[in-house]
Structure 1
Amino acid sequence: MAEKRRRLSRDDWVAAALAALGEGGVGAVAIEPLAARLGATKGSAYWHFANRDELLAAALQRWEHDETDAVIALVSAEPDPALGLRTLLGAALSHPQEKLAVLLAGATDPLVEPVLTRVTVRRIEYLAELFTRLGFAAPVAKHRAALAYSAYLGTGQLWRTMRGTLPADQQAWQSYVDEIWRVLTTPGPPERAPVPDRAQSPRDSG
């Protein structure tokens, strides 16, 4: 007798959609290939979702919760903003190929773009809040937040395309994350006065 097939849950389909999104982009999130991947029928998907777009929306919602809401909640529980930032970097830079699944998969897709925009704005604003708590002035905190997010995106891109440029073992990886943290939290030189516009300098004007 053939083994009875396990009934797939909504979570099973969402997890498969997220995996496909990270591996093949938005186009990979389609009912028929996902059903084949899961060893299920298309009817199993339609039991939980009205259509493919509803499945994709559910996957994006899961990604936003797991990779943003839950991480911010974890970091916010740490009273020391410096340790909170280190925790955040550790969480964000672990398994970067999974963290960046949506960021690199379909930024121009009409379903993905608004979620991606909302998440990116929220993440950078939260980073700026951490740097403000560390004592940086608001403009500098915004710059540090953008720099931190750039390090996150860059690491993920290297992981996908040139993994050999990144540390290979766990100890070296932790040292890499620590170095990013030290660079981001080290105060820069005193703010300098703006350089005069040459077009308005006395020498040029007369």
Structure 2
Amino acid sequence: MRDQPDSSKRPARKRLTADDWADAALAALSEGGLGGVAVETLAARLGTTKGSFYWHFTNRDALVAAALARWEELSTERIIQAMEAAEPDPADRLRALLHGAIASATTDALEVRLLAAADHPDVTAALARVTERRVGYLAHLFELLGFPPPEARRRGLLAYTSYVGHAQLTQAVPGSVPADAGYLATVMTALLRR
């Protein structure tokens, strides 16, 4: 009779969570767009089976929705919370937000890929929510800096569209937008000018 392997000696496999799957979907989306989110490919990447996927999600659309919710949480809400907790000065908070956003735009194509997939209804809805939250937060910072609400909103929108344009150009034409501190200083000067 053949000896059976002792299962107690095998390392325990980490049980994957829905967030693990959502994070893997976001990575795939960043690399290959919405079409890159394929269950079998993600299962292989995560070292598991499709059964794990179906434990958490009913179908691919449910995974895409979870990934978009995860993106909203990580890329907007947690960043805003961290800024609120770490930086009391609204001008420094604005500068730190723009610096972080511009730095991430050069290395992460996720937001550009999401913009390219804006014809998907779930992506459209997520982009609308994130845009409103981000522009609203930026407008709030401009109000704290003394701008009246309508002007604060315009400046918040200008700051956000500057970031989106920067992200698009950085991904589409690498090297076309300066990556130095002088560029950010110029943007900040324009945004804060009365």
**1:36 and 1:5 mapped to 2: Cα distance?**
18
Query: Which residue number in structure 1 is paired with residue 193 of structure 2?
Result: 186
**1:100 and 1:133 mapped to 2: Cα distance?**
28
Shift of 1:29: 1.4
Cα deviation 1:105-147 (Å, max 9, x = unaligned)? 4212122221211111111111111111111222221221111
> SS of the residue aligned with 1:164?
coil
**1:101 and 1:22 mapped to 2: Cα distance?**
8
For residues 111-126 of structure 1, the aligned pairs below 5 Å read 111-126=122-137
5+ residue gaps in structure 1?
A: 188-206
Identical aligned pairs, as a percentage? 49
The AA in structure 2 aligned to 1:161 is A
The structure whose residues are more often helix, as a share, is 2
Shift of 1:83: 0.9
**2:77 and 2:165 mapped to 1: Cα distance?**
22
**2:57 and 2:38 mapped to 1: Cα distance?**
12
Note if contact 2:26-2:110 (Cα within 8 Å) is conserved in structure 1. Answer: no
For residues 5-16 of structure 1, the aligned pairs below 5 Å read 6-7=13-14, 9-10=16-17, 11-16=19-24
Query: Which residue number in structure 1 is paired with residue 25 of structure 2?
Result: 17
Is 2:82 the counterpart of 1:74?
yes
Shift of 1:69: 0.4
**2:66 and 2:12 mapped to 1: Cα distance?**
24
Shift of 1:166: 2.6
Note if contact 1:128-1:144 (Cα within 8 Å) is conserved in structure 2. Answer: yes
TM-score, structure 1 as length reference: 0.78
Is 2:68 the counterpart of 1:60?
yes
TM-score, structure 2 as length reference: 0.82
Query: Which residue number in structure 2 is paired with residue 86 of structure 1?
Result: 95
**1:81 and 1:69 mapped to 2: Cα distance?**
17
Cα deviation 1:153-189 (Å, max 9, x = unaligned)? 0111012111111335xxx2x33223222221122xx
- RMSD of aligned alpha carbons: 2.3
Shift of 1:53: 1.6
5+ residue gaps in structure 2?
A: none
The AA in structure 1 aligned to 2:89 is D
> SS of the residue aligned with 2:115?
coil
